[in-house]
Amino acid sequence: MNTVVISPHLDDAVLSCSTLLEAGPTKIITIFSGPPVDHSMLGYYDEVTGATSSRARVFERTHEDHEALDGLVESVVRLPFKDAQYLQSPTAAEVADAIAINLLGADRVVFPSALGGHIDHRLARDACVLGVAEGLFPECELTAFADYPYASEADGWPAWVRTSDPMGLHVDADWDGELAVLAECGFSLTPVVRRLDDAAIDRKLERSRLYRTQFDALDNESGRVSNRENLMFEVEFKLSSNGSVVSPKGVARELGPEVRASPRRASGGIIASLRPKIGRLLGR
């Protein structure tokens, strides 16, 4: 199976989909890889992580990504769209087109579900759903991954991930709200939990640390990335539809460039509706 992982930022595929990448063959399309043109630009997050020039920082991060993915994936496409901190975000339609022309030969597309609500992750998800709604990704199996570390940062992974116990099914509103977007667009979701053994956790941690300019800030004082209990799981949602997928609310090509991201949804109760499917968790 030719799998393409859509990675919003340079480190997201490694952080969220290491099991998939190791299973290969995999191609990664990273969306927000473009350096700002303005040499004096310093984005807020680059400043937090100690950069003095965002333009230089993007090239530094690209080298880190090259090192982290070396020998792990078949190919990498880094699209030149700008990270939200550079205030030049593309539209979902622009991103959908760029993904589509790089998908030839793919039969599985894995994209972020945007758990945690990061604006770039939402834009990546919405672009993929728009692409599906417009028939730009034909014949591809679709999977949405749980965004690490955001998906487990509130209070670790939900009980049903840790124990496969449907009775323990409980997540915070962020999960419900973001997954409801997929359900509203016409997808039915089936959760898949992958459990990493000690060696797989070590490999993932080692690769994650290669993103040297990002790791400490991402891990922060709580160890949200390096916590081995959190690293023990990766979660995906297999997506199926009856063919009538629509683009997310507020995301449509004809609405023009002013529409840049879908608004946050209220809790939709989508997780509760998954309860009958939890017994079919795979990959453990």
Note the residues at the interface with Zn ion (CB under 5 A). Answer: 8-9, 12
Q: Which is nearer to Zn ion, 8 or 177 (CB)?
A: 8
Q: Which is nearer to Zn ion, 8 or 158 (CB)?
A: 8
Length of the chain in residues, anyone?
284
Q: Which is nearer to Zn ion, 214 or 278 (CB)?
A: 214
CB of 218 to Zn ion, least distance (A): 9
Q: Which is nearer to Zn ion, 129 or 245 (CB)?
A: 129
DSSP for 11-59, written as a single string: THHHHH-HHHHHH--EEEEESB-PPPS-TT---HHHHHTT-S-HHHHHH
Q: Which residues partner with 78 through β-bridges? A: 30
Distances, alpha carbon 234 to alpha carbons 180, 208, 259, in Å: 20, 14, 31
Q: Which is nearer to Zn ion, 55 or 118 (CB)?
A: 118
First-to-last alpha carbon distance for the chain, in angstroms, is 20
CB of 65 to Zn ion, least distance (A): 12
CB of 215 to Zn ion, least distance (A): 13
Q: Which is nearer to Zn ion, 15 or 245 (CB)?
A: 15
Do residues 3 and 108 lie in contact, with contact meaning Cβ atoms separated by under 8 Å? yes
CB of 120 to Zn ion, least distance (A): 6
Residue nearest to Zn ion (CB): 9
Dihedral of the alpha carbons of 73, 79, 85, 87, in degrees to the nearest 10: -170
Q: How far apart are CA 134 and CA 247, in angstroms?
A: 8
CB of 87 to Zn ion, least distance (A): 17
Q: How far apart are CA 159 and CA 227, in angstroms?
A: 16
Q: How far apart are CA 214 and CA 202, in angstroms?
A: 18
CB of 53 to Zn ion, least distance (A): 21
